[in-house]
């Protein structure tokens, strides 16, 4: 949950090739406190059966940029029943401001993906 001095982040993944949530995908969260600052890994989670990450770590005060790293290759290999994936991972970087919540869904298929700021 965000406060006046921090932002908060949530995400979910929808597999658009089958119209269902993508469960069991590992998601890592990193943050930095300025354009030139180093990334700090904050930990991660995995998507639940509904494709949601409900327990991502809180962002530290002063965070200006966030990166979500989705490890999609194991999920896609299982669904495609073959080794390898065209996009083995998806990294999304976005800017945040204190007091705002950012829900960033990933729409995934074997040969493409898109993201947007949700609500």
27: tokens are 């998601």
Measured distance CA(12)–CA(45) in Å, rounded: 11
Beta bridge partners of 107: 14, 114
Q: What is the pLDDT of residue 44?
A: 93
Q: Are 43 and 100 in contact (CB under 8 A)?
A: no
pLDDT tens for 62-107 read 999 999 999 999 999 988 777 878 999 999 999 999 999 999 999 9
What is the number of other CB atoms lying within 10 angstroms of the CB of residue 7?
21
Element counts in the chain: helices (H) and strands (E): 1, 10
**Domains and their CATH numbers in the chain:** 8-115 (2.60.40.180)
């Amino acid at each position: 949950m965000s406060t006046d001095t921090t932002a908060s982040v949530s995400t979910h993944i929808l597999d658009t090739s089958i119209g269902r949530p993508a469960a069991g995908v590992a998601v890592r969260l990193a943050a930095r406190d300025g354009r030139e600052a180093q990334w700090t890994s904050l930990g991660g989670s995995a998507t639940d059966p509904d494709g949601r990450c409900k327990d991502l770590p809180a962002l530290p005060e002063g965070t200006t940029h966030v990166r979500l790293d989705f490890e999609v290759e194991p999920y896609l290999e299982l669904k495609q029943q073959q080794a390898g994936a065209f996009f083995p991972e998806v990294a999304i970087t976005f800017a945040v401001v204190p007091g705002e919540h950012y829900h960033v869904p990933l729409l995934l298929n074997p040969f493409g993906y898109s993201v947007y700021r949700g609500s």
